[in-house]
Amino acid sequence: MNEIFRSDLAEVQVRLVDLSEAVTEIMEKASMAFLNSDVRKADEAIALAEINEEKALAIDELAIRILGRQSPVARDLRVLVSALRISASLERMGALAGHIATIARFRHPESAVPESLRKTFSEMGALDCALSRKLTQLLRNPDVDLAKTIQGEDARVDELHRSVFDVVLSSTWQENPMYTVDVTLASRYHERFADHVVDISAKVAYLTTGDWSEIE
């Protein structure tokens, strides 16, 4: 690998780590906004999600420029193509967190989450933030064990996602339809956020081991 290409790749990595940190911050603010009807945090999350989109586009441009200039092959080529996909996933994660903040914004000054689901969403938000932080760590120091740990950890998010519907569809659920809509979408956004973390981790594991089976 030549020096210029090595430094180009390092630049892509730094930017992906930066994007992943920004995504964590958006999810932290969105989760606080959602749980506490905090309209200021909601606005911050929404504004950051927009910046996030621009950052992701800039990484794509950088990766395409490197592809054109260096014409990498084999593993180097796959690293760059993966970078394009990882930035697309990080962009979506920011957008999903932004959607959660938007729900909080819409419902303000009312709460978007009824008391019966507060604990569930609190755990789901905390898990998404924790997964996002681990993802940053993984992007900074690719490590197949950490990648596999992350891939196992979204099971709890899926479980919580299903449990939201158990509550909503139970006979004790007497909330108005607005709550049903809000918690249905918010739960879906939390679940998709974790899905993207798993997808990215699988790509990093693949790049580390070269084993395609990791990403299927």
Helix then strand then coil, in percent of the chain rounded to 5, is 85, 0, 15
Determine the interface stretch with a second copy among 7-15, 35-43, 154-162, 183-191 (rule: CB under 8 A). 183-191
Residue 71 found at the interface with a second copy (CB under 8 A)? yes
Residue 168 found at the interface with a second copy (CB under 8 A)? yes
Contacts for 16 with CB less than 8 Å, ≥ 6 apart: 59, 83, 86, 87, 90, 139
Alpha helix positions (H), 108-176: 115-140, 144-168
Residue 169 found at the interface with a second copy (CB under 8 A)? yes
Residue 177 found at the interface with a second copy (CB under 8 A)? yes
Residue 115 found at the interface with a second copy (CB under 8 A)? no
Residue 216 found at the interface with a second copy (CB under 8 A)? yes
Minimum separation from the CB atom of position 186 to a second copy (A): 11
141: left (phi > 0), else alpha (psi -120 to 50), else beta? beta
Q: Which is nearer to a second copy, 46 or 95 (CB)?
A: 95
H/E element holding 206? helix 177-209
Minimum separation from the CB atom of position 40 to a second copy (A): 25
Residue labelled with tokens 């394009």: 84
CA-derived radius of gyration, the chain: 19
Main-chain dihedrals φ then ψ at residue 183, nearest 5 degrees: -75, -30
Minimum separation from the CB atom of position 169 to a second copy (A): 5
- Residues in contact with a second copy by CB under 8 A are 57, 64, 67-68, 71-74, 77-78, 81, 84-85, 88, 165, 168-169, 173, 177-178, 180-181, 184-185, 188, 216
